[in-house]
Every structure is written in C-alpha cells, then in structure tokens.
Copies of this chain bind each other. A is one copy, B any other.
Amino acid sequence: VNEADFIQALRGFSSLIGDDSAVVPTPGGGDLLFTTDFTIENVHFKRSAPARHVGYQAVARSLSDIAAMGGQPLYCLIAIALAPWTTARWLDGFYRGARRALGGCRLAGGDVSHARDFIANVTVVGSVGRGKALLRSGARPGDRIYVSGKLGGWHHKKKIVPRLDLGRKLVGRASACMDISDGLALDLFRLCAASGVAAQLDTVPLLPRATEKQALHDGEDYELLYTVPSGRRAPGFPIGRIIDGSPSITLRGERIRPGGYDHFQQLGRKARV
C-alpha cells in the first residue's frame, strides 16, 4: 500500500475527498472549506525547535490549504497531545506562535490529551464563494503552470507563509491550484492525475543554495502550484505547460518520477504497510 492507493481507496467512501480542503455548500449561499493537518514531533519538527516556530508552522500548514482553495480562513481548532517533556513555558510559546499565524482566523476550540511525542492537529474552517473554490481537477491542455515562489528550502527550518492573498486573487483566474507540501514532482503529479493531463516543465525557480532535486522531491515548500489558461495573466513564476496525455511530468524533455514525501514509504522502511 502506498499513500496514493490509500487516498484513492478513501475516495471510494466519499466524493468530498481529494483536494487540499473539503468543499461543502452552506445554506447562506457560499461554500465552506475544511482542512486538518498533523504536526508531529520527529516527523514535522525536532524537540530542539523553538516552541513558537512549532506553533506557528502547525497553524500555517492548515492555512496554506485554505489559501490553495482560494478561501478566507474563519475558524481554527487546535488539538494537542502533550509529551512528557512538554513544559508550561514551552506550551505558552507554542500558543504564541499559533496565534501569530492565525491572523484574523479565530481560535474556536480544541482538545487536550497526552502521548509519547508532542502532537498537534490543526483544523481550519474557511469560506469561499459558491462554486468558486480552486480545485486540483481543472487543469487543461494549453494552460501554463505557475508556482508562487522559489522552491527547495530545507524544510524543517523554513517559515511557512500561507499564500492567502494570492489564493484569493487566483479565484476566477486559475484553472487548478494546490499547495506544494510534499515536493513539486509528487504534488504536480497529483494535480495532473486529478485533471487527467500531463505536465511539461521548462524550469524550476530555486531558493539560494537549493538544488533542483530538492525542489522536485523535498516536502514542505508550501508555495502554491497553479495552472492558468493561456492568454490570461497571473502573478508568480511560470514553470511550464499542461499537455494532453496520461499523468506524467517532464523537465526539459526528461521524464521526472513523481517521488516526494510519502508517509507510507517512510513506514515501509521499517514496517509492513
């Protein structure tokens, strides 16, 4: 079993699964967005990381999903499982960081439990105009592919900047959008698979000291990846073009394997999944 197969099996349970956030209609006329993300010690951060940074990233990770849908974040739930090493001072720092990331999004509840490692789970509820959410499935042959920023920064250190303003600007402009959480190659492959198209990349904008390999296959960039119909203008870095074909990616003509961060692969090394 790999993560893609597993998510595919889950989709059999519900048509709402598959984008960065779930999209559900409200009686008031708009759509609501729901997203939930783990932040786990030794997976997403090391105990030595500043508490504020951990809290900030935990919230920013979910806000980035709302940005990818073109939405406005409204409410946030923070569930935490305290580890034996967690001090009141550390928790205070964690919540300071979380609040800084929240901006105008309101903390609306949570849960407190305990575990061997510190774990946070952040759920964000957002809103977007009815039928206006940016999905992964709208890319069409001829569309240009963009990223919102340079890629390949070393992922545990970099501060996530959720591209909320850009996401809202892309509503009605981009044909498809998602955030890059598991590496450009894997995430672009997911976008291609959702849209039933292939991608030709010409270039990958790199952060200082980053390699193309890092930009393609490392996780946690949290830039937006989006497609725009040709002739329409959009901000960001153009990196290639959508073409007809079964889901695949080439960079300057060379085929790129859609390898990125896969939680099932991480386990596969030591486990039976």
Question: Contacts A27-B28, A95-B10 given: A112-B34 contact, CB under 8 Å?
Answer: no
A99 near B13: Cβ-Cβ < 8 Å: yes
A72 within 8 A of B: no
- Least CB distance from A256 to B in Å reads 23
Q: Could you say which residues of chain B place their CB within 8 Å of the CB of A123?
A: 34, 36, 77, 123
A112 near B26: Cβ-Cβ < 8 Å: no
Number of A interface residues in the complex (CB < 8 A): 67
A38 within 8 A of B: yes
Closest to A125 in B: B34
Question: Contacts A13-B95, A17-B107, A95-B10 given: A113-B22 contact, CB under 8 Å?
Answer: no
Question: Contacts A3-B112, A91-B6, A123-B34 given: A82-B264 contact, CB under 8 Å?
Answer: yes
Within A1-36, the residues touching B (CB, 8 Å) are 1, 3, 6-7, 10, 13-14, 16-17, 19, 21-22, 24, 26-30, 32, 34-36
A113 near B273: Cβ-Cβ < 8 Å: no
Count copies of this chain in the complex: 2
Q: Mark A117-142, 1 if CB is under 8 A from B, else 0.
A: 10101010100000000000000000
Q: Could you say which residues of chain B place their CB within 8 Å of the CB of A264?
A: 82, 112
Q: Could you say which residues of chain B place their CB within 8 Å of the CB of A206?
A: none
A13 near B43: Cβ-Cβ < 8 Å: no
CA distance A107 to B36 in the complex (A): 13
Q: Could you say which residues of chain B place their CB within 8 Å of the CB of A255?
A: none
A267 within 8 A of B: yes
Question: Contacts A34-B108, A82-B267 given: A88-B121 contact, CB under 8 Å?
Answer: no
Closest to A102 in B: B13
Question: Contacts A24-B75, A115-B117, A116-B117 given: A106-B16 contact, CB under 8 Å?
Answer: yes
CA distance A198 to B88 in the complex (A): 30
Closest to A80 in B: B38
- Least CB distance from A251 to B in Å reads 27
Question: Contacts A22-B75, A75-B22 given: A37-B119 contact, CB under 8 Å?
Answer: no
Known: A82-B273, A115-B115, A115-B117. 20 other contacts (CB 8 A): A10-B110, A14-B106, A16-B75, A16-B108, A22-B75, A27-B27, A27-B29, A34-B75, A34-B109, A36-B36, A36-B77, A38-B113, A38-B115, A38-B119, A40-B114, A43-B81, A77-B123, A83-B271, A87-B273, A88-B273
